[in-house]
Structure 1
Amino acid sequence: MTDSPLWKLGRVVLVVVVVVAALMWLVAQVPALNPFTTETKDRTGPALLQSVRDLSQYHAAEGDFQVVVDVEHDVAWVPGFIAGSRALFVAHGSVSAYIDFGTLSDEALTVDEERKTVEVRLPDPKLAKPNIDQEHTYLYSQDRGAWDRVKSLFEESDQREFYVLAEKRIGDAAKEAGLTVRAERNTRQMLTGMFTSLGYKPRFPADDNA
Structure 2
Amino acid sequence: MESSSERPGRSLRPMWGRIAAGLVVIVVLIVLVERFSLVPGFGGILGEDTRDRSGPALLKSVQDMDRYEAAVGNFQVVVDLEKDAAFLPDAIRGTRTLYVGAGTVGGYVDLGGLDERSVTVNEDRTEASLRLPHAVLGQAALDPNRSYAVSKQRGLLDRIGDLFSDNPAGEQAVQKLAAQHIDEAARASGLADRAEKNTTSMLEGLLRSLGFRKVTITYA
Q: Same fold (TM over 0.5)?
A: yes
Structure 2 residue 127 is matched with structure 1 residue 117: yes
For structure 1, which runs of at least 5 residues remain unmatched after alignment?
1-12
* CA apart distance, 1:138: 1.2
1:82 matched residue in structure 2? 92
Q: From the superposition, tell whether residues 27 and 181 of structure 1 become closer, same or farther in structure 2 (CA, over 3 Å).
A: closer
Residue identity over aligned pairs, in percent, reads 39
* CA apart distance, 1:72: 0.7
* CA apart distance, 1:66: 0.5
Q: Aligned pair count? A: 185
SS of the aligned residue for 1:121 comes to strand
1:162 to 174, 193, 198: 174
Q: Structure 2: which amino acid aligns with 1:120?
A: L
**Superimposed CA distance per residue, residues 13-60 of structure 1 (whole angstroms, 9 cap, x where no aligned partner):** 9xx99xx99xx979849x8xx5x4211111111100110111111011
Tell me, in whole angstroms, the C-alpha distance in 1 between the residues paired with 2:115 and 2:141: 30
1:48 to 32, 47, 58: 58
* CA apart distance, 1:205: 4.2
For structure 2, which runs of at least 5 residues remain unmatched after alignment?
1-21
Tell me, in whole angstroms, the C-alpha distance in 2 between the residues paired with 1:206 and 1:94: 24
2:189 matched residue in structure 1? 177
**Superimposed CA distance per residue, residues 51-87 of structure 1 (whole angstroms, 9 cap, x where no aligned partner):** 0111111011111000111111111121111111111
Q: From the superposition, tell whether residues 129 and 205 of structure 1 become closer, same or farther in structure 2 (CA, over 3 Å).
A: closer
2:201 matched residue in structure 1? 189
SS of the aligned residue for 2:112 comes to helix
* CA apart distance, 1:148: 1.2
Structure 2 residue 215 is matched with structure 1 residue 202: yes
1:61 to 68, 71, 75: 71
2:9 matched residue in structure 1? none
Q: From the superposition, tell whether residues 121 and 146 of structure 1 become closer, same or farther in structure 2 (CA, over 3 Å).
A: same
2:111 matched residue in structure 1? 101
Query: Considering only aligned residues, what root-mean-square deviation do their CA atoms show, in Å?
Result: 2.6
Tell me, in whole angstroms, the C-alpha distance in 2 between the residues paired with 1:125 and 1:206: 8
* CA apart distance, 1:179: 0.5
Tell me, in whole angstroms, the C-alpha distance in 2 between the residues paired with 1:57 and 1:205: 16
Query: Which structure has the highest helix share of the two?
Result: 1
Question: Does structure 1 retain, via aligned residues, the 8 Å contact 2:67–2:111?
Answer: yes
Tell me, in whole angstroms, the C-alpha distance in 1 between the residues paired with 2:41 and 2:73: 46
Extract structure 1 runs of 4+ deviating beyond 2 A.
Answer: 24-29, 204-207
* CA apart distance, 1:206: 5.4
SS of the aligned residue for 1:102 comes to coil
Tell me, in whole angstroms, the C-alpha distance in 2 between the residues paired with 1:38 and 1:206: 57
TM-score, normalised with respect to structure 1? 0.80
2:145 to 131, 135, 148: 135
Tell me, in whole angstroms, the C-alpha distance in 1 between the residues paired with 2:141 and 2:199: 22
Structure 2 residue 166 is matched with structure 1 residue 153: no
Tell me, in whole angstroms, the C-alpha distance in 1 between the residues paired with 2:179 and 2:81: 14
Q: Structure 2: which amino acid aligns with 1:91?
A: G
SS of the aligned residue for 2:175 comes to helix
